[in-house]
Structure 1
Amino acid sequence: MGISALETLALLVAAGVLVVELFIATPDSYGSAIFLTLIVAGFAVALAAVTVGLWRGATAARSASLVWQVLQMGVGLASDSGEFGIPLVALAVAVPAVTVIGLILFNHTVREHFSDGDAL
């Protein structure tokens, strides 16, 4: 849940930066700039709802988070490809996504393993 909260915070910051950029910069296309700002803000709100759902323990939030992490992993892989690919950005985006996917899929298994009282 902590990683999801940090991702939400990062998206909110990105949306804020895009809003500021709308007023201080001159975009090539105002329509594209406004659309990008709105879609990032919408994703931030949706991820905030998922984070709240994870905090409350809602099962539906796990599947929504899994979908978000797979999409984020795709963005991370895409940011490393092409002529202007940046590997550090790809790692910064993809590593949290892979971590959350692992936690979502195996959290119950790990908890069951350690609840038996067995020491390693």
Structure 2
Amino acid sequence: MSEHAKVAPQWPILVLTALIGLESIMMIGVAGFLIYELITQPALSVATSIALVILAAIGAAFLAAVTLGILRGQTWARSAGIVWQVLQTAVAVVILQGDIAQVLGWALALVSLVVLVLLFHPTATEHLRRR
């Protein structure tokens, strides 16, 4: 076999990293939007609004850590990524049950499905294997 045949394709890792990185950036945007709403709109509970901003920031940091973990080939990143995608799928289902943001619900569901498939791709499995 040639050297080229022995090397696994790296596109699944690149796409996986890009998608989870994009999710992290989007969560930063959500946190920023929540801060904007907290400043410009009257809140029924300021404490709850601040807690929601903090949770969104924690989610963004979590996704950034998962992105770096996948890039570095750390084993824990796969399970963390799976947990996030399952939770995101639950959010997508709730959104799809409403009447307002169907496109957002389908987008979240589609991204979660693609990331879950990529997390179990043989290249990702090899990349994230214990060393």
| Aligned equivalent of 1:102 | 117
CA distance in 2 between partners of 1:59 and 1:110 (Å): 9
Match of 2:103 among 68, 82, 88: 88
Deviations 1:25-72 (A, max 9, x none): 111111211111111111111111111101111111011001100110
State the one-letter code of the partner of 1:33.
S
Deviations 1:79-109 (A, max 9, x none): 1114x35321111111100000000012438
Measured at CA, do residues 91 and 7 of structure 1 come closer, stay the same or move farther in structure 2, by a change above 3 Å?
A: same
Measured at CA, do residues 14 and 102 of structure 1 come closer, stay the same or move farther in structure 2, by a change above 3 Å?
A: same
Give the 3-state SS of the residue equivalent to 2:31 in structure 1.
helix
State the one-letter code of the partner of 1:93.
L
| Aligned equivalent of 2:51 | 35
TM-score (norm 2): 0.77
Unaligned runs of 5+ in 1: 112-120
TM-score (norm 1): 0.84
Count of paired positions? 110
Give the 3-state SS of the residue equivalent to 2:28 in structure 1.
helix
Unaligned runs of 5+ in 2: 1-16, 127-131
Higher RCO (C-alpha under 8 Å, 6+ residues apart)? 2
Q: Which moved more, 1:85-94 or 1:27-36?
A: 85-94
